[in-house]
Amino acid sequence: MKRLFKPFSTQDLVVITMMAALGLAIKPIVTPLSQIITGPLYIPGGVVAGAFYMLWIVLAYGLTGNKPGSALLVGLVQGIIVILLPFANHGAFSIVSYAAPGLAVELVYLILRPGPTTPARAFAGGAAANITGSFLVMVVIMRIAVWRLPLVPFLLPVVTAILTGGLGGLVAYGLQRKLARFF
């Protein structure tokens, strides 16, 4: 266990925990507001709200100095917190549904090294996180057989998830640049 956290300083672990907490704190506020917009379009609310709570995963990766594993840790911490607190609505699957977007960010930044150092890379990280989370919820939780949907109903939430997640990544990039002088 000690070896797992060896690359992270205490400050990194505090940042990871803070980003996980901020992502969870903003979710119940933003999701109902986004459902007002997405409900009439039959798009799951989390597809748009993901822009606001996936940005913390990208921001954590950037604020920890682009250390591999930080995005995944944010997702794992969120999943564990959700299970421990009474608002776990997906049960044990919460670990997977929260960790998977972090894993997606890790994979994107494994390819686009070193991490969210440019707006394009930050957009890619946010888009990957949001499309992963949205797809998992649509397929596993909502039990939507996405492979049976006609093209337009399939592409509408996918494109929306990519765009809103990417915008969240851009916000994370802007916040990272503002907060960099403190780290």
In the chain, where are the structural domains located?
2-182
Sequential DSSP letters for the chain: -HHHHTTS-HHHHHHHHHHHHHHHHHHHHHHHHHHHHHGGGT--HHHHHHHHHHHHHHHHHHHTTS-TTHHHHHHHHHHHHHHHSTT-SSTTHHHHHHHHHHHHHHHHHHHSTT-S-SHHHHHHHHHHHHHHHHHHIIIIIS---GGGS-HHHHHHHHHHHHHHHHHHHHHHHHHHHHHGGG-
**Structure confidence at residue 102 (pLDDT):** 97
pTM: 0.90
Stretch 154-177: mean pLDDT: 93
Report, at the CATH architecture level, how domain 2-182 is classified.
Orthogonal Bundle (1.10)
User: pLDDT of 129-146, one tens digit each?
Assistant: 999 998 888 787 766 666
Examine the pLDDT at 147 and tell me if it is beyond 70.
no
